[in-house]
Amino acid sequence: MENTSLLLKAVKETSLNEYIQKLKHVAIVRYVPSKFNLEIWKNSTLKTRMLYLCLLGLYLVPLIDNFRIAWFIVEHLLSNDGGDALAKFLVMFIKLFSTTTALIIIWKRDDINHLLQEYEDYVPLHQDERFMEKYYKFGMRYLKSNVCLNFLSCFVFQLIFPVVFQDPLYLLDILTFPVLRDSNLYLLMLIISFLSSIFSLFIYLPYIAIEGIFESFFIDEYNYLSEIFRNFIHQQGNRKHMLEEHANRSEGLIELINQHAKLCRLLNIANKVFQFLTAVILFLHMINLCAIAYELSNNLVTAKSYTFQIAPAAMSATFCVCRLYSGIKINDSAHQLVDHIYAMPLHDLSHEAIIKLSFFLHRLTSEQIGISIGGCFVINPASVLTLIGSIITYSIVAYQTRS
């Protein structure tokens, strides 16, 4: 195959690499050791010590939120304000979700480091500088939009909505439950809630930016690999059957198969990093949609509760749509080589290349390659239709069984 060595040459100085390096410096979780003891504490910097103490405090916040949710359920179990109680529960659940996602990122920080290290060792196929520049621009837009969206959402939820409503302290009472307004701990609970949200935000943003940049990277790498494979087949069909060319074509084919395997390995490492957070966000979005369908069917929607449910539902919907779309694109790009393999002439390939090609074809047809959701299933058109069908089915059942 012509120019194979050039196509597989390492690209070490690109804007994408520079952007990844920037994200590595922004991701404060990376500076915290996985294991911490007295010796590490003595040898660590002041910044590392402060981050570690903040992370210890962050571990306590979900425990407090779980306690608050349990208390709330017990208190309102027999109450008559079903719709409002459900809305308050969802607001508390969303607050618990933000700190839980931060804990998942902390828990997966070793995998994040492993993914970034594997990417640095990976040999990209595409060497067009404009191609790499697209990643940088995409990543910067992705990061800036997430910063603006999250700060705007925090500002709206904590300041604007409570003032606009008839009861200005409606949301604040939920965030500080079970502490009452006249309690001395009321202000302390507000400060803890705000600081935990901000700290979770700065942990979450670099993480989600890395996820978005790698999704775009996988889509383009698989597409470009498919293009190379198609050109390889075209060149193979136009060449004369010369014995000295057989080895070169077989080696080129094996090299492409190995490159696809390396890309799949990098995708598997990325799944270990992102699959749990994606599953949690998708699960939360499903619960929120089902709760909204139930409230609409039973006329339980109030002005306060409906607003607080629609806003996070819209934000999580944006994330879910992006993840599902990227998952379908990656799944389609990774499997589109099957048609090219079926059209490939095999008479001038070596025995080793044919065996390698057979195993490669079996893997493409028997395995699902793509974004994993919690390790349970891979995003593909069938799984997306199943999720949509489940939501529609529940909405119909909730409407038919309305009280």
- For residue 313 the two structure tokens come to 């539902």
- pLDDT computed for residue 307 by the predictor: 63
Q: Which of 16-30, 255-269, 285-299 has the highest mean pLDDT?
A: 255-269
Q: Which tens digits make up the pLDDT trace of 220-261?
A: 888 888 888 777 776 665 554 444 455 566 777 778 888 888
pTM of the model: 0.74
- pLDDT computed for residue 241 by the predictor: 47
Q: How many percent of the chain have pLDDT more than 70? A: 59
Computed on alpha carbons and rounded to an integer, the radius of gyration of the chain in Å comes to 26
- For residue 59 the two structure tokens come to 């571990």
- pLDDT computed for residue 167 by the predictor: 61
pLDDT at 371 over 80: yes
Mean pLDDT of 284-293: 79
d(CA 230, CA 339): 10
Segments making up each domain of the chain, as ranges? 4-400
- pLDDT computed for residue 78 by the predictor: 62
More confident residue, 150 or 374: 374
Mean pLDDT of 350-365: 79
